Chains A and B, each alone.
Chain A
């Protein structure tokens, strides 16, 4: 079985994101870029499945410009066997990304597709679900435990009321949650090896996925600044301040 894993290049989770003054986007100049943390967990899970002898090949796929090759190389260094870059200069909406993935699926015929439950930059949480629908295969989202058996998978999902366990037929799309696993460190010798692993570049145009959706981002704005708090001396002053503000 082949496993396909999606990898998105995003601003590092620990970076304090700053909106550009003209509202056209966020400042990525000199900012640390990393693999979307959920995608890292997805890849870790795929590698564990392979190491357990239940898959033969792990392929990482990213849709984006050449800079995302850096994140694909990270995936290869973690242990993926090969990488595919669907090359585009545009920043695509989830539906187009799902369509591009579908084309890759048609070529590769994976038994399992593992994606992050969302990307931490746009927080859309849509690609996995859309892909499953387009592919017309089962989906298991927000996975916190994944067990494979012959032709099917048991998935524990994190839902609002607790944990839900479902069983799905393979091939399927699984999107992963934070608690699924702890991704490994990359071994330095493996970075060298990763340089020799294949990384195919497929222009988006060649995949014939049609035009991007009719959704476009018009403006970015930082969250409203919280007003500065004040220290009150005692309860009486607290009550007075609340009254002054018309809150009691």
Chain B
């Protein structure tokens, strides 16, 4: 980070953008200076709350002229430190840009400002008898701008894809102060580079997403959820294969017995199954009639005969659907106090069994003294590996030990063609290992792209690249 202006940034911004709300109060600096991660202390110099695209443009123009580093900030539920301001930056919060601008029933799209919360889009879709499928435990706080910037995934990627698949248009403000209207809601647009896709997953390093046009889809069919007890790691993908062949799956998630232990303790949930199992699966599938339930039963029986499954329950109504999901959705929150060091790994589905096997051996070898909690979107080849900080260990020592583990974990992931981040992003925490996900040539090109959109390098310096 060279030549950044952090002292006097607030005064410069106040002068240039008199209308802009700029807060320097300690409580707000602390709350808006970081995301869900806990490895860096928040230390921004101010938090800006623009109210309009116009104000965003003025803010960016001043920041770019004065070389003021900006940290874009959404709902601050990010898990890679992307929205952390630890070096006197100015945080740009979208909390005051929460308007729904347009709903088009013919295009089946909704256009919202970046600060609109994910759950609000879901709810809006529901009231129009449509559906916004991006869903995960933090949807009540995360914002559309943050979802776009991280290309958020979640529990229904298996059926509907990532945030990328839902974005029909983006309005962004680049570091050069231009406002780009990317793709404008079009279904088809073969007119050269689709810049929209560069901003999706850019983690706030190319520009500020100010508006997004999102596709809505048909409401899902009535569904049922099974919580299944799995015999072991080697059985997991066999169960997936079987269920996927027999049922129209909308989600396939897994977690370990240790994860179950914490989520039960954290949320006070009863034992879901009579049988204790090493692994559990949450499988959700379309179930409009009794026929699908019969197929699910047959599928279950076959897996039991193979000893892949040991036990299982199935929802009888939508309340139980929600109750069963809590066993999976509550895990992240129930271990957040440790705090955990999170790895968000992905491999192709065909290599999941091999990867699990080798990770299991690796964990035994390199961190026998740590508790590791596994869960994830296994139907997408995405595993969340959470290393829990032992109570007595200093945070800094824990982080450096975790880094040693990451080194080996990422080397293994790379060796079988996987990625060191499936959906949480590189941000601050995974930046030292970007070269485990991309070749030197790729990183150089990414840097070139960054320079085009953000020549002064004011957006999220020290993140991603």
Is A74 a contact partner of B316 (Cβ separation < 8 A)? yes
The answer for the CA separation of A50 and B286 in the assembled complex, in Å, is 34
Is B317 a contact partner of A40 (Cβ separation < 8 A)? yes
A187-201, CB under 8 A of B: which get 1 and which 0? 111011000000000
B311-324, CB under 8 A of A: which get 1 and which 0? 11111111111111
Is B311 a contact partner of A192 (Cβ separation < 8 A)? no
Tell me whether B222 is interfacial, beta carbon within 8 Å.
Answer: yes
Q: Which residues B257-276 have CB closer than 8 A to chain A? A: 270, 272-274
Is A32 a contact partner of B315 (Cβ separation < 8 A)? no
Q: Work out how many contacts link A and B, with CB atoms closer than 8 A.
A: 68
A185-B315 contact in complex given A30-B221, A30-B222, A30-B288, C-beta closer than 8 Å:
yes
Is B126 a contact partner of A16 (Cβ separation < 8 A)? yes
The answer for the CA separation of A33 and B92 in the assembled complex, in Å, is 47
B272-293, CB under 8 A of A: which get 1 and which 0? 1110000000000000101001
The answer for the CA separation of A74 and B317 in the assembled complex, in Å, is 10
**Closest Cβ of chain B: how far from A11's Cβ, in Å?**
10
The answer for the CA separation of A12 and B288 in the assembled complex, in Å, is 12
A20-55, CB under 8 A of B: which get 1 and which 0? 000000000011101101001000000000000000
Tell me whether A165 is interfacial, beta carbon within 8 Å.
Answer: no
A37-B319 contact in complex given A16-B126, A185-B324, A186-B314, C-beta closer than 8 Å:
yes
Tell me whether B300 is interfacial, beta carbon within 8 Å.
Answer: yes
Tell me whether B297 is interfacial, beta carbon within 8 Å.
Answer: yes
Q: Quick one: closest A residue to B273, CB to CB?
A: A187
The answer for the CA separation of A12 and B222 in the assembled complex, in Å, is 10
The answer for the CA separation of A127 and B221 in the assembled complex, in Å, is 32
Q: Quick one: closest B residue to A187, CB to CB?
A: B313
Cross-interface CB contact of B222 among A31, A37, A186, A187, cutoff 8 Å: A31
The answer for the CA separation of A205 and B288 in the assembled complex, in Å, is 31
Is A188 a contact partner of B226 (Cβ separation < 8 A)? yes
A42-84, CB under 8 A of B: which get 1 and which 0? 0000000000000000000000000000100010011000000
Residues of A within 8 A of B9 (CB): none
Cross-interface CB contact of A34 among B126, B221, B317, cutoff 8 Å: B317
The answer for the CA separation of A207 and B312 in the assembled complex, in Å, is 40
Tell me whether A13 is interfacial, beta carbon within 8 Å.
Answer: yes
Is A12 a contact partner of B318 (Cβ separation < 8 A)? yes
Q: Quick one: closest A residue to B229, CB to CB?
A: A188
**Residue with the greatest number of chain A CB neighbours at <10 A, chosen from B126, B304, B317:** B317
B229-267, CB under 8 A of A: which get 1 and which 0? 000000000000000000000000000000000000000
The answer for the CA separation of A12 and B320 in the assembled complex, in Å, is 11
Tell me whether A236 is interfacial, beta carbon within 8 Å.
Answer: no
Tell me whether B134 is interfacial, beta carbon within 8 Å.
Answer: no
Question: Which size class do B's interface residues fall under?
Answer: 20 to 34
Tell me whether B83 is interfacial, beta carbon within 8 Å.
Answer: no
**Residue with the greatest number of chain A CB neighbours at <10 A, chosen from B221, B272, B316, B318:** B316
Residues of B within 8 A of A188 (CB): 226, 228, 297, 300, 311-314
Residues of A within 8 A of B167 (CB): none
Is A35 a contact partner of B288 (Cβ separation < 8 A)? no
**Closest Cβ of chain A: how far from B62's Cβ, in Å?**
27
Residues of B within 8 A of A78 (CB): 316
A185-B272 contact in complex given A13-B317, A16-B126, C-beta closer than 8 Å:
yes
The answer for the CA separation of A188 and B228 in the assembled complex, in Å, is 9
A35-B317 contact in complex given A188-B226, A192-B301, C-beta closer than 8 Å:
yes
Is B318 a contact partner of A15 (Cβ separation < 8 A)? yes
Q: Quick one: closest A residue to B296, CB to CB?
A: A188
Is A13 a contact partner of B318 (Cβ separation < 8 A)? yes
Tell me whether A14 is interfacial, beta carbon within 8 Å.
Answer: yes
Is B221 a contact partner of A12 (Cβ separation < 8 A)? no
A185-B297 contact in complex given A12-B318, A40-B317, A74-B316, C-beta closer than 8 Å:
no
Residues of A within 8 A of B47 (CB): none
B339-379, CB under 8 A of A: which get 1 and which 0? 00000000000000000000000000000000000000000
Cross-interface CB contact of A186 among B316, B321, B322, cutoff 8 Å: B316
Tell me whether B227 is interfacial, beta carbon within 8 Å.
Answer: yes
Residues of B within 8 A of A187 (CB): 273-274, 311-313
Residues of A within 8 A of B319 (CB): 13-14, 37
**Closest Cβ of chain A: how far from B273's Cβ, in Å?**
8
Cross-interface CB contact of A185 among B126, B222, B300, B320, cutoff 8 Å: B320
Is B313 a contact partner of A12 (Cβ separation < 8 A)? no
The answer for the CA separation of A187 and B226 in the assembled complex, in Å, is 9
The answer for the CA separation of A20 and B317 in the assembled complex, in Å, is 23
The answer for the CA separation of A37 and B323 in the assembled complex, in Å, is 14
Residues of A within 8 A of B274 (CB): 187
Is B222 a contact partner of A32 (Cβ separation < 8 A)? yes
Residues of A within 8 A of B228 (CB): 188
A185-B313 contact in complex given A30-B288, A70-B290, A192-B301, C-beta closer than 8 Å:
yes
The answer for the CA separation of A74 and B320 in the assembled complex, in Å, is 13
Additional pairs, 15, CB under 8 Å, beyond known A32-B317, A77-B316, A187-B313: A14-B319, A34-B316, A35-B317, A40-B317, A185-B227, A185-B314, A185-B315, A186-B313, A186-B314, A186-B315, A188-B312, A188-B313, A189-B311, A191-B314, A192-B297
Query: 25 A-B contacts, Cβ less than 8 Å apart?
Result: A12-B318, A13-B319, A14-B317, A14-B321, A15-B318, A31-B222, A32-B222, A32-B317, A37-B317, A37-B319, A40-B316, A77-B316, A185-B272, A185-B315, A185-B323, A186-B313, A186-B315, A186-B316, A187-B274, A187-B311, A187-B312, A187-B313, A188-B228, A188-B297, A188-B314
Q: Which residues of A contact B (CB under 8 A)?
A: 12-16, 30-32, 34-35, 37, 40, 70, 74, 77-78, 182, 185-189, 191-192
Q: Which residues of B contact A (CB under 8 A)?
A: 126, 221-222, 226-228, 270, 272-274, 288, 290, 293, 297, 300-301, 304, 311-324
List the 9 shortest-distance A-B pairs measured between CB atoms, nearest first: A14-B318, A32-B222, A185-B313, A34-B317, A188-B312, A188-B300, A12-B318, A74-B316, A187-B313
